[in-house]
Structure 1
Amino acid sequence: MATVRKSITFTKQQDAWIKSQIEGGDYTNDSEYIRDLIRKDQANNSKLNYLRMAVQKGLDSDVSEKSVQDIIEAKIKEKQ
C-alpha cells in the first residue's frame, strides 16, 4: 500500500499522551498510533452508519400491531 506523508501539529499534552502510549508498548512510533486511531475511527463510523440506517428503516416502517411479547415469542419460535 502506498503511503502519503502528512505534517500534523499536536499540543504538548497530546504529544505526551502519544508518547505514553508508545512507552506502554502498544505502539512502536507516533505513526503507528495515529494509523490505529484512524482505523478505529473508520470502524466506529461504519457501525454508526449501520445504526443510523437501521433507525431510519424503523422510522420508515409501519407501526406494528403486535406486542413486544408477541415479537419475542415469534423470534424464539423461529430459532427452534
Structure 2
Amino acid sequence: MPRQSISFSKPNDEWLKSQIESQEYSSKSELVNDLIRQARKQQAQIDWLRAKLEHSQRSGFTSDTKEEILKQSKTLLNG
C-alpha cells in the first residue's frame, strides 16, 4: 500500500486520537482510509443526483437550475 505523510491541525489530530483511544479504529491510517471511502461514496451519490437533475432539467420537469437544486440538497443534508 502506498505510504503518505500528511499533517493535521491540532483539533483534527486530537479528534483522530480520540477515535483510536475509544477503539473505534485501530490506527489513524484505518480511520483516514474510512473517511476517504465515505467521501468517495458521497461523491458518487452527488454525481448520480447531478445526472438525474440534468435529465429532469432537460425534460422540463423542473424550472430550477441544477445548481439551485444541488445547493438546496446540500443545505438539507448538512442541516
After TM superposition, is the score higher than 0.5?
A: yes
Structure 2 alignment gaps of length 5 or more: 62-79
What is aligned with 1:7? Answer: 5
Aligned-residue sequence identity (percent) comes to 36
Q: What aligned pairs does 1:7-46 form with structure 2 within 5 A after superposition? A: 7-46=5-44
Give CA deviations for 1:21-59 in whole Å, capped at 9, x if unaligned: 111211000000000000000000000000000000000
What is the alpha-carbon distance in structure 1 between the residues aligned to residue 6 and residue 60 of structure 2?
Answer: 49
Residue 62 (structure 1) shift = 3.6
What is the alpha-carbon distance in structure 1 between the residues aligned to residue 47 and residue 5 of structure 2?
Answer: 29
Structure 1 alignment gaps of length 5 or more: 64-80
Moved over 2 A (4+): none
Matched residue pairs, number? 61
What is the alpha-carbon distance in structure 2 between the residues aligned to residue 24 and residue 56 of structure 1?
Answer: 43
TM-score normalized with structure 2 length: 0.73
- Larger Rg: 1 or 2? 1
TM-score normalized with structure 1 length: 0.72
Which letter maps to 2:51?
A: M
Question: Over the residues paired in the alignment, what is the CA RMSD in angstroms?
Answer: 1.0
